[in-house]
Structure 1
């Protein structure tokens, strides 16, 4: 079953941009930024931190590619991407609470500002894929 969401040119550009950003971040998880991402894995996660970084990197690459190559499934992918952003949010909160430096976030102010952008990513995923509008229609 294909999604029937009509999306504007701006939404399609936003979806493509988000897809590229996610795929790039996922590649960073597996290569050049692995240590930085490892610093963001909360100590309370019951898995090996490096495994979490690798798995989340694979997830980000997969989600990014899905945004790019599955336009017929855009609303479903939008909900999955938004859910992913919600699921990784506790790691961002942990980084703030434990005062962990990573990616240049070396102050509580910088880490706090970053927290404010996580809802923006959720909204971006839902808006750019038409998922929110599709849900409201139903």
Structure 2
């Protein structure tokens, strides 16, 4: 079943550049979870998460670093990595929704309008991960 996701599809130079950019963004975000923006990320962990908030921030930072490194260095597995990164963006989306619903200020998102615009950007990240890795293309070829 997963064999199709282990074989890379042909991607363009533009897709490769965007895959590297997304990888770099995830590396930066993950590093910021563990260092300078830790307090901001703590504010974004929803109250309903049954884990220590600091642990959630640390673990999500480590995951983002690993995903960023995977996007940059695992070119042969990029289709599978694309699906994993897209899934990660879907899994953290409830935290963004909670930030909007609870009117939590973080990262300069100090209005419902700003938090709402951020919600609209999350599907863009999912699409970016699937397109830049060729995952979407591989899925379409398989279907």
TM-score range, shorter chain: over 0.9
> 2:70 is matched with which residue: 66, 74, 82?
66
- Do residues 110 (structure 1) and 114 (structure 2) align? yes
Aligned to 2:140: 136
Aligned length, in residue pairs: 138
SS at match of 2:51: coil
Equivalent of 1:34, from 35, 38, 63? 38
Aligned alpha-carbon RMSD (Å): 0.7
**Unmatched runs of 5 consecutive residues or more in structure 2:** none
Displacement, 1:3?
1.9
Matches within 5 A, 1:1-138: 2-138=6-142
Q: CA deviation at 1:4?
A: 2.5
Query: TM-score if structure 2 supplies the norm length?
Result: 0.95
State the Cα deviation string for residues 83-128 of structure 1 (Å, max 9, x = none): 0000000000000000000000000000000000000000000000
Q: Which portions of structure 1, spanning 4 or more consecutive aligned residues, are displaced by more than 6 angstroms? A: none
Q: Output the TM-score relative to the length of structure 1.
A: 0.99
